[in-house]
A and B are shown apart, each in its own frame.
Chain A
Amino acid sequence: MLPFLLLLPFFGAALLMLLPRERLSPLIPAQATVMVTLGCLALLGVATFLPPSLELQEITGERFHHFHADWMPSIGLTFSLWLDGPALFFCWMVLGIGLLIFVYAGFYMDPADSPWRFFGTMMLFMGSMLGVVMSRNALLMFVFWELTSLTSFILIGHWHHKESARKGAMRALVVTGLGGLCLMAGIAGYFWILSTASAPGYVFDPSTALNWDSLWANRELLLNHPASVACLMLVLLGAFTKSAQFPFHFWLPGAMEAPTPVSAFLHAATMVKAGIYLLGRLYPIYWSWELWLILVGSAGVITMLVGGFMAMTSRDLKQLLAHSTVSQLGLLTAYYGFGFDRAGGDKPLPMDLLLVLSHAMFKGALFMIVGVIDHGAHTREWTRLGGLRKYMPVTTVLTIVACASMAGFPLTFGFVAKELFLKTALSLHASSPLLAYGLPAVAIIASLFTVAYSLRMAVSPFFGKPRDPSIHEHDIYSIEERGDAEDDAHDGSDGAASHAHAAGVHEGGPGLLIPPGILVLACLVAGFWSPFLGDLLSPLVNAPFYGTESGFTVAFFHHADKLLWTAVFLFGVGVLVFLAGKRIMESYERAGSPAIFRHAYEAIFDRAIPSLAAWTARTSQTPSLRRSIAVFFAAAFGIVVAAMGYSGFGLPGAIAIPAGLWMATLPIALTLPCLWVAATHRVLLVRVLAMAPIGFFVAMFFVFFRAPDLALTQILVEVVILIVLLMVLFRLPQRFEPRQLRFDPTAGAIALVGALVMAALTYSAMGSPWRHAPTLEGQPSVRDYYLGNAKYPAMTSEEAAAIGYPGASNMRSGGGTNVVNVTLVDFRGIDTFGEIIVLGISAIGVLCLLTVNRRRRSDNWRGGALDDVGHVSDIVNPETHRQLEMPYRAWPSPSLLLSEIGRLAPGFVLIFAAVLFFAGHNAPGGGFIAGLMVSVGLAMVLIAVSWTRSRHLERFDFVRLIGVGLLVALLTVVVPELFGLPFLTSGHWHFHLPLLGGGEFATAAIFDLGVFLLVVGATMLVVQKLGKE
Chain B
Amino acid sequence: MELLITLFVFVLYFGGFYLMMRRHVFEVLLGTLLLTHATSMLLIAMGGWKPEERPPILVPSAELPLSAYADPVPQALILTAIVIGFGVTAYLVVLIMRGNEEMNDMEMTERPREEDEA
Interface residues of A (CB under 8 A from B): 623-626, 629-630, 633, 654-655, 657-658, 661, 664-665, 667-668, 671-672, 675, 678-679, 684, 687-688, 691, 694-695, 698, 701-702, 704-710, 713-714, 717, 720-721, 724-725, 728, 731-733, 736, 740, 744, 746-748, 750-752, 754-756, 758-759, 761-763, 765-767, 771-772, 782-784, 786-788, 790-791, 817-820, 823-824, 827-828, 831-832, 834-836, 838-839, 841-843, 845-846, 849-850, 856-857, 859-862, 922-924, 928, 1018-1019, 1022, 1026
Q: How far is the CA of A665 from the CA of B6 in the complex (A)?
A: 11
The listed residue (A736, A835, A842) touching B90 by CB distance below 8 A is A842
- Decide: A762 and B21 in contact? CB cutoff 8 A: no
- Decide: B90 and A721 in contact? CB cutoff 8 A: yes
Can you name the residue of chain A whose Cβ is closest to the Cβ of B46?
Answer: A765
- Decide: A856 and B101 in contact? CB cutoff 8 A: yes
- Decide: A624 and B20 in contact? CB cutoff 8 A: no
- Decide: B72 and A783 in contact? CB cutoff 8 A: yes
Q: Give min CB distance, A212 to chain B, whole Å.
A: 52
- Decide: B101 and A861 in contact? CB cutoff 8 A: yes
B111 surroundings in chain A (CB, below 8 A): 623
A846 surroundings in chain B (CB, below 8 A): 90-91, 94
Q: Give min CB distance, B69 to chain A, whole Å.
A: 5
The listed residue (B16, B17, B49, B110) touching A705 by CB distance below 8 A is B49
A771 surroundings in chain B (CB, below 8 A): 46-48, 71
The listed residue (B13, B94, B108) touching A1026 by CB distance below 8 A is B94
B-side interface residues, number (CB < 8 Å): 91
Q: How far is the CA of A750 from the CA of B34 in the complex (A)?
A: 16
A626 surroundings in chain B (CB, below 8 A): 21-23, 28, 107-109
Give me the 8 closest cross-chain CB pairs, A-B, nearest first.
A842-B87, A751-B17, A747-B21, A755-B14, A623-B111, A759-B10, A860-B104, A625-B108
Can you name the residue of chain B whose Cβ is closest to the Cβ of A931?
Answer: B83
Q: Give min CB distance, A544 to chain B, whole Å.
A: 63
Q: Give min CB distance, A760 to chain B, whole Å.
A: 8
B91 surroundings in chain A (CB, below 8 A): 842, 845-846, 849
A733 surroundings in chain B (CB, below 8 A): 100, 106
Contact with A along B36-73 (1 / 0, CB 8 A): 01101110111111010111111110000011011111
- Decide: A924 and B57 in contact? CB cutoff 8 A: yes
B54 surroundings in chain A (CB, below 8 A): 706
B108 surroundings in chain A (CB, below 8 A): 623-626
- Decide: B11 and A675 in contact? CB cutoff 8 A: yes
Beyond A728-B93, A758-B9, 9 additional contacts (C-beta under 8 Å) are A657-B3, A684-B26, A698-B12, A705-B45, A744-B18, A783-B73, A786-B56, A787-B56, A835-B84
- Decide: A654 and B3 in contact? CB cutoff 8 A: yes
- Decide: A787 and B79 in contact? CB cutoff 8 A: no
Q: How far is the CA of A857 from the CA of B55 in the complex (A)?
A: 53
Interface class of chain A by DSSP = helix
Can you name the residue of chain A whose Cβ is closest to the Cβ of B54?
Answer: A706
- Decide: A625 and B106 in contact? CB cutoff 8 A: no
| B residues 67-118 in Cβ contact with A at 8 Å | 67, 69-73, 75-80, 82-91, 93-98, 100-104, 106-111
B46 surroundings in chain A (CB, below 8 A): 762, 765-766, 771
B60 surroundings in chain A (CB, below 8 A): 791, 817
- Decide: B76 and A747 in contact? CB cutoff 8 A: no
Can you name the residue of chain B whose Cβ is closest to the Cβ of A924?
Answer: B57
A818 surroundings in chain B (CB, below 8 A): 56-58
- Decide: B3 and A752 in contact? CB cutoff 8 A: no
- Decide: A713 and B79 in contact? CB cutoff 8 A: yes
Can you name the residue of chain B whose Cβ is closest to the Cβ of A688?
Answer: B30
The listed residue (A630, A667, A710, A860) touching B75 by CB distance below 8 A is A710
Q: How far is the CA of A575 from the CA of B103 in the complex (A)?
A: 75
- Decide: B21 and A633 in contact? CB cutoff 8 A: yes
Q: Give min CB distance, A507 to chain B, whole Å.
A: 55
- Decide: A655 and B4 in contact? CB cutoff 8 A: no
Q: How far is the CA of A788 from the CA of B24 in the complex (A)?
A: 49
Q: How far is the CA of A923 from the CA of B41 in the complex (A)?
A: 22
Q: How far is the CA of A835 from the CA of B76 in the complex (A)?
A: 12
- Decide: B9 and A759 in contact? CB cutoff 8 A: yes
Q: Give min CB distance, A837 to chain B, whole Å.
A: 9
- Decide: B101 and A664 in contact? CB cutoff 8 A: no
A–B Cβ pairs within 8 angstroms, 6 of them = A623-B108, A655-B1, A664-B1, A706-B56, A766-B48, A820-B79
The listed residue (B42, B69, B80) touching A824 by CB distance below 8 A is B80
Q: How far is the CA of A721 from the CA of B82 in the complex (A)?
A: 12
Known contacts A728-B97, A819-B72; A1018/B87 CB under 8 A:
yes
- Decide: A728 and B87 in contact? CB cutoff 8 A: no
A1018 surroundings in chain B (CB, below 8 A): 87
Q: Give min CB distance, A1023 to chain B, whole Å.
A: 10
B69 surroundings in chain A (CB, below 8 A): 787, 819
Q: How far is the CA of A661 from the CA of B5 in the complex (A)?
A: 11
B96 surroundings in chain A (CB, below 8 A): 728, 732
The listed residue (B10, B70, B84, B98) touching A706 by CB distance below 8 A is B70
A694 surroundings in chain B (CB, below 8 A): 12, 34, 37
Q: How far is the CA of A610 from the CA of B19 in the complex (A)?
A: 36
Q: How far is the CA of A690 from the CA of B2 in the complex (A)?
A: 26
Which residue, A633, A709, A733, A820, has most C-beta atoms of chain B within 10 A?
Answer: A820
A765 surroundings in chain B (CB, below 8 A): 45-46
B100 surroundings in chain A (CB, below 8 A): 731-733, 860, 862
Can you name the residue of chain A whose Cβ is closest to the Cβ of B104?
Answer: A860
The listed residue (A717, A759, A790, A820) touching B7 by CB distance below 8 A is A759
Q: Give min CB distance, B24 to chain A, whole Å.
A: 5
Known contacts A661-B4, A664-B4, A762-B42; A731/B97 CB under 8 A:
yes
- Decide: B47 and A709 in contact? CB cutoff 8 A: no
Can you name the residue of chain A whose Cβ is closest to the Cβ of B59?
Answer: A817
- Decide: B51 and A658 in contact? CB cutoff 8 A: yes
The listed residue (B34, B58, B67, B73) touching A817 by CB distance below 8 A is B58
A928 surroundings in chain B (CB, below 8 A): 79, 83
Q: How far is the CA of A299 from the CA of B100 in the complex (A)?
A: 64
B93 surroundings in chain A (CB, below 8 A): 721, 724-725, 728
- Decide: A706 and B55 in contact? CB cutoff 8 A: yes
B95 surroundings in chain A (CB, below 8 A): 849
Q: How far is the CA of A765 from the CA of B86 in the complex (A)?
A: 26
Which residue, B5, B8, B90, has most C-beta atoms of chain A within 10 A?
Answer: B90
Q: How far is the CA of A664 from the CA of B3 in the complex (A)?
A: 11
B98 surroundings in chain A (CB, below 8 A): 849-850
Q: How far is the CA of A736 from the CA of B27 in the complex (A)?
A: 10
Q: Give min CB distance, A1015 to chain B, whole Å.
A: 8
Can you name the residue of chain B whose Cβ is closest to the Cβ of A1025?
Answer: B94
B71 surroundings in chain A (CB, below 8 A): 771-772, 783
- Decide: A758 and B10 in contact? CB cutoff 8 A: yes
- Decide: A817 and B97 in contact? CB cutoff 8 A: no
The listed residue (A661, A759, A782, A838) touching B1 by CB distance below 8 A is A661
- Decide: A672 and B11 in contact? CB cutoff 8 A: yes
Q: How far is the CA of A691 from the CA of B93 in the complex (A)?
A: 15
- Decide: A732 and B106 in contact? CB cutoff 8 A: yes
Can you name the residue of chain B whose Cβ is closest to the Cβ of A739?
Answer: B23
- Decide: B47 and A705 in contact? CB cutoff 8 A: yes
Can you name the residue of chain B whose Cβ is closest to the Cβ of A923?
Answer: B57
The listed residue (B6, B24, B34, B57) touching A708 by CB distance below 8 A is B57
A661 surroundings in chain B (CB, below 8 A): 1, 4
B25 surroundings in chain A (CB, below 8 A): 625
A828 surroundings in chain B (CB, below 8 A): 76, 80
Q: How far is the CA of A787 from the CA of B73 in the complex (A)?
A: 10
- Decide: A838 and B87 in contact? CB cutoff 8 A: yes
A762 surroundings in chain B (CB, below 8 A): 5-6, 9, 41-42, 45-46
Q: Give min CB distance, B56 to chain A, whole Å.
A: 4
Q: How far is the CA of A707 from the CA of B79 in the complex (A)?
A: 10
Q: Give min CB distance, B28 to chain A, whole Å.
A: 7
- Decide: B58 and A790 in contact? CB cutoff 8 A: yes
Q: How far is the CA of A701 from the CA of B40 in the complex (A)?
A: 10
Q: How far is the CA of A638 from the CA of B80 in the complex (A)?
A: 29
The listed residue (A664, A698, A832) touching B80 by CB distance below 8 A is A832
The listed residue (A684, A786, A859) touching B72 by CB distance below 8 A is A786
